[in-house]
Amino acid sequence: MAAHRCSCWSWLLILFSLSVFVVADIHETTPVNDHHGGVDHNAQTAEQTADQPAVEERRWEATEVKEAATVDAAADIQGTSAPETVVPSSVPQPKDDFQEELVIRPLHSGDIYASFQFRTLWDTDFMRENKVSHYRLFPKSLGQVISKFSVRELHISFTQGYWRTMQWGQPFIPSPPGAELWVWFQDSVTDVDATWKELTNVLSGIFCASLNFIDSTNTVQPSASFKPLGLGNVTDHSFLRYATLPREIVCTENLTPWKKLLPCGSKVNVPPFTCAFFFLKKRGTSMPSVSVLSFLLTMFSEQAGLAVLLKSEKLFHSSFHSQAVHIRSVCQDWQCKTTSWELRQTLNSVFDLHNSGQTKREWSLFKMFSRTLTEACPLASSSKLYIDITDNPQGEQFELSPATSLLSQAVVLGDRRTFSVYDLTQETTFGTVRSLNLLIRWKSNEGEMLRPLLHAERYVAGYGLQTGEIHTLMYNNHPYRSFPVLLLDSVPWYLRLYIHTLSVTSKGKDNKPSYIHYEPSKDRVKPHLLEMLIQLPPNSVTEVTVQFERALLKWTEYPPDPNHGFYVGSSVISSLVPSTVAMHTNSTRERPLFSSFFPCKEESSYFVRIYTEPLLVNLPTPDFSMPYNVICLTCTVVAVGYGSLYNLLTRSFQIEEPNPGLAKRIANVIRRMRGVPPL
């Protein structure tokens, strides 16, 4: 046994003395005949250059590897040290998986809705004792957040603009204007509030957003509205925290860190122009066409797949922009024996094509994103582009080029939609130009849109700066079905809700909510939380009103003078809405007769969450030069009062002889001049 080990050792030693680079220090690697002065000089210049802090902040030194250390360490891996090899075809299945997709839906308003989804799945358990620390596709920063803060589920969204449900229909993933964050913690967390505070600070660093402004005054614990979307049926809402920052402005600085989380989405390195022209020459093209230019740009960019399209200058030139990160645990297989973590990064944009000075209604990937697609992300197991052609079954509305024969049907938000599918992992998708520039040319402007079954709006009524009234209107456009909705309102403490004035009316009648959860606010500590379960009658408008009083703030709590006012976050309406598919019992669409008898044959209802507009409220603002004026005024009053009191107390009063009259005084003066004693 010993002999065997000995031979093993010596074999390893030989192996590593061959494979390990034996490096000496710079000074030692100089040939022996080199004169020493030169070496010293070199070393010195190296230091001098290193001392120039602006150019080279760091001193770089060649790494010297000690043979001994490596050999000894290598001896520890007993025989398992496989030298570098080409992995045979049976590659071990990686435990993580990445998918990307883009859905494009032409909206009836003439806008284009583009929705990116990137999904990373990882079969791991962040809550294990030995914490996970080796990351491949899953971003390290988020993994550390999950394991450090014991997060069960995390949803964060940044939105610029307001989603117009009436014009655009339902979004795939709804989000309120500004920033929204809701997190379910594991039951192992003891101090949820402290963890939440720390988590928001860390997330604010990761996403370059003002999430650190989330504190107890805008955090609520909804009891019913936000249930976990992933695995685990938790009912104890003390582990849930929900907060919105309606004032948050989303811009490129939020997009860059979001893109960094993607495996294929790093920064673009634009090549020098000479290089580009060299390529043009090589390809024999005299005029750079759109596709060639775009091909060149993507060729030199350090990214691939759909992330190529995420250019901030185009994405933010849109009517609506929303980016989100959703982390949850999902089942690994249909039996759900093991779970894996899912990271879903979504980005939704609505591009207003009329605004960009177009006479012709025409739309292409290049026009919208100033890039075309050339390849899928090599790390993605699936990379697809979907175009919603439901409203265009025969091609009478718009023309799609290049055409694809691949069609897919899916029931999205209770509606059966048809999509043209472009699979980016297939070479044929890109054609001969090796670039996919999707083009939609409209033929007609008409087209009617199904009104969304549920939508809501909200506004502040009233006049003056003392009281007001919040009105929330919820529309049920279903012709014959009523359904319940959960309304969540989180109102900051400085609007003091008069909860006794809460009234819910639909069709002119009082509509008593079947469930009301109200947590009153505490000044400077927590906001109002109002949750109600309301049944919306068919084809009706339900109005929820509540009166409030505006509070006076302390003088340091007011924002600087040039401000918008105070924002109140959107109301959240969550509901199971009856499916539209089921609604069309007399559908004219061509469908087999056997499939259209029972109204509820497909999913009878679907989950919808909609957000109302945020409110902007003015609070009574005092004149801030007042304090000094008040100080001066009160001091003067005090001084006058005190002065007269003081005089009264300290002066001694004597009876003075009455003043002689004016004539007498004049007479006395004359008498004095004459030397006669006065009167």
Partner 1 sequence: MAITEVERRRGQLAALSIAAVVIIVGVPLWWRTTETYRAWLPVSQIKDLAKLQLHLSADVEVVFARGTVTPEQQKKVPLTQTQDEEHTVDEDTTLRYRYETKYRTATIMEEDAMKKPTAAEADLSLHMLSESPCGSLVVYVIPESSSLLPEDVNVYIGQRRTALVRISAQMRVGKTLEQLLAQLEPQIKQVLQVMSFSHTDITVALSDRVRFRPGNKESIADSMRAFKSSPGYEITFSLLNPDPKSHQLHWDIEGAVQTYIQPLLTKLSPLANFSMDSQTLYYTMLGVTPRFDSSFEAYTLNADSLAHVINPVEARLGSNAASSNPVLNFLLYVPDIRHSPLYIHDHRKQEVPSNAFHSPRWGGIMVYNVNGFYGSETEFPVHVNINMAKVMGVFLAQLRLLLGVQSLSPPPGFLVAPCGSTGLADWELDRLMWSRSVENIATATTTITSLAQLLDQIGNIVINDNIAQQVSSAVTSLQLAMAELEVGNLGFALQYSKEAILASEKAFFDPSLLHLLYFPDDQKFAIYIPLFLPMCVPILLSMLKIVSEARQRRREKQAKKE
- Binding to partner 1 (CB under 8 A) within 161-220 occurs at 202, 205-206
What residues have CB less than 8 Å from 484, skipping those under 6 apart?
514, 533, 534, 535, 536, 575, 576
Report the residue number, 148 or 417, with the smaller CB distance to partner 1: 148
Q: State how far the Cα of 383 lies from the Cα of 378, in Å rounded to an integer.
A: 9
Task: Tell me which residues in 59-118 interact with partner 1 (CB under 8 A).
Answer: 59-66, 68-70, 72-77, 80-88, 91-92
Distance CA 182, CA 194 (A): 15
CB-nearer residue toward partner 1: 461 or 635: 635
Among 4, 35, 36, 58, binds partner 1 (CB under 8 A): 58
Binding mask 594-633 for partner 1 (x = CB under 8 A): ----------------------------------x--xx-
Quickly tell me which residue has 């009160």 as its tokens: 634
Give the footprint of partner 1 on residues 356-395 (CB under 8 A): 375, 378-379
Q: How would you class 59 by CB atoms within 10 Å of its CB: exposed for 0-12, middle for 13-18, buried for 19 or more?
A: exposed
Shortest distance (Å) from residue 27 CB to partner 1: 11
Residues 16 to 35: which contact partner 1 by CB under 8 A? 16, 19-23, 26, 29-30
Q: Does 14 bind partner 1 (CB under 8 A)?
A: no
The one segment of 127-135, 356-364, 417-425, 597-605 that binds partner 1 by CB under 8 A? 127-135
Q: Residue 125 Cβ, how far from partner 1 at the closest point, in Å? A: 15
- Candidate list 235, 269, 394, 659; residue touching partner 1; CB under 8 A: 269
Residue 657 interacting with partner 1 (CB under 8 A): no
Closer residue to partner 1 in complex, CB, 450/631: 631
Q: Edge-to-edge strand order for the sheet containing 540-550?
A: 454-461, 467-476, 540-550, 495-506, 509-510
Q: Kindly state the smallest distance separating residue 256's Cβ from partner 1, in Å.
A: 9
**Which is nearer to partner 1, 359 or 652 (by Cβ)?**
652
- Build a one-symbol-per-residue string for 137-156: x at contacts with partner 1 by CB under 8 A, - elsewhere: x-xxxx-xx-xx--------
Footprint of partner 1 on 297-336 (CB under 8 A): 302-304
Smallest separation (angstroms) from partner 1 to the CB of 196: 15
Nearer CB in complex with partner 1: 21/334:
21
The number of angstroms, rounded, from the C-alpha of 412 to the middle of its chain's C-alpha atoms is 23
Nearest Cα neighbor of 24 from 62, 71, 59 is 62
CA distance 231 to 381: 24
List, in order, residues 6 or more apart from 144 with CB less than 8 Å away. Answer: none
CB of 652 to partner 1, least distance (A): 4
- 520 vs 627, which CB is nearer to partner 1? 627
The SS3 assignment for 274 reads: helix
* Strands 339-351, 112-122: pairing kind: antiparallel
Nearest CA to 200 out of 135, 245, 258, 140 is that of: 245
CB atoms within 10 A of CB 447: 16
Sole binder of partner 1 in the list 428, 432, 652, 659 (CB under 8 A)? 652
Residue 258, CA distances (Å) to 156, 157, 393 in order: 11, 11, 36
Tell me which amino acid residue 433 is: V
Of the pair 266, 477, the CB lying nearest partner 1 is at 266
Is 563 a binding residue for partner 1 by CB under 8 A? The answer is no
The owner of tokens 């009104």 is 451
Tell me how many residues contact partner 1 (CB under 8 A).
93
Buried-exposed string 390-419: b where 16+ CB fall within 10 A, e elsewhere: ebbeeeebbebeeebeeeeeeebbbbbbbb
627-646 positions binding partner 1, by CB under 8 A? 628, 631-632, 635-636, 638-640, 642-643, 646
CB of 23 to partner 1, least distance (A): 4
Helices 192-206 and 140-149 sit at what angle, rounded to 10 degrees?
170
**CB neighbours of 641 closer than 8 A, spacing ≥ 6?**
none
Q: Does 252 bind partner 1 (CB under 8 A)?
A: no
